Structure 1
């Protein structure tokens, strides 16, 4: 792929898409490792809630970069999910 023919917006989308995919990959690894080595449920439940915050923010930010028809409604939906998740994280476990 020749990056010299792409504009800044396309390069930004490609880079942020790659970062979102890495975030999803590493999150999946961490979650599977915590579930496989489930020794301290109360503590690990809180850790899993914090781990899942990264992909939610990554996807939310990536959709914010997109400028396609219907993305505003989807972005509003993701923002509401993010806000609800923030409330869950701030609630003591």
Structure 2
């Protein structure tokens, strides 16, 4: 499961939620990385030295967990499958 699915399906909480509550009650959640590897949410959160007191929203928790993932876990850096809009600098004048 990706981070969002792991938090929604296994760790469905009311917000705000304390960091300790997430660690204790979401220990069965496993996050699958873009490279195919997987890691338990409890292990991902286990690297935190300066624990936040609480998360105000699901988006805040998801962003926090994503920030802890290894660089190769989230896919290609800078990749955008939506294409890019042409900007003035991209245009060529003849």
> TM-score interval w.r.t. the shorter chain?
under 0.3
Q: TM-score, normalising length from structure 2? A: 0.23
Larger helix percent: 1
Larger strand percent: 2
Q: TM-score, normalising length from structure 1? A: 0.23
